[in-house]
Amino acid sequence: MSRWLHRGYAGCVYAFLYLPLVVVAVFSFNSSKYSLAWKGFTLDWYVRLWQNSGLMTTAFNSLLIAAASATLATLLGTVAAFVLHRYRFPGRRTLFGTLFVMMMSPDIVIALSLLLLFLALSLPLGFSTLLLAHTVLCVPFVATTVFSRFVGFPDDLVDAARDLGAGEYQVFRHIVLPLASPAVAGGWLLSFTLSLDDVIISFFTTGPDFEVLPLRIYSMVRLGIKPDVNALCVVMMAVTVTALVLSKHLLKEKK
Partner 1 sequence: MVTLAGVTKQYNGHPALVDISLTVADGEFLSLLGPSGCGKTTLLRLIGGFERCTKGSVLIDGRDTDGVPPERRAVNTVFQNYALFPHMTVFDNVAFGLRMANRPRDEIAAAVNGALDLVQLHGMAARRPAELSGGQQQRVAIARAIVNKPRVLLLDEPLSALDHRLRKQMQKELKQLQRTLGITFILVTHDQDEAFAMSDRVVVMQQGRIEQIGSPREIYEEPVNLYVARFVGDINVLAGVIREKIGPNLYTALVEGVTVQLRSDRPLSLAQPVHILLRPEDFRLAVEDAATPARELPGTIRHAGLKGTVRRIFYHGATYDVEVSLENGTRIQVTEFFDEDSDTLSCTPGDRVTLGWHEGWEVVLPHEE
Residues forming contacts to partner 1 in the complex (CB under 8 A) are: 154, 156-157, 159-167, 170, 174-175, 178-179
- Residues 65, 108: Cα–Cα separation, whole Å: 19
DSSP 8-state code for residue 172: I
Instruction: Pick the closest to residue 32 from 44, 24, 40 (CA basis).
Output: 40
- Residues 12, 40: Cα–Cα separation, whole Å: 28
Nearer to partner 1, 103 or 157 (CB): 157
Nearer to partner 1, 12 or 157 (CB): 157
- Residues 240, 47: Cα–Cα separation, whole Å: 21
| Residue 163 C-beta: closest distance to partner 1, Å | 5
Instruction: Pick the closest to residue 161 from 178, 136, 137, 138 (CA basis).
Output: 178
| Residue 77 C-beta: closest distance to partner 1, Å | 21
Nearer to partner 1, 33 or 173 (CB): 173
**CB neighbours of 190 closer than 8 A, spacing ≥ 6?**
138, 141, 142, 145, 243, 244, 247
Nearer to partner 1, 34 or 169 (CB): 169
Nearer to partner 1, 156 or 209 (CB): 156
| Residue 153 C-beta: closest distance to partner 1, Å | 10
| Residue 175 C-beta: closest distance to partner 1, Å | 6
| Residue 249 C-beta: closest distance to partner 1, Å | 18
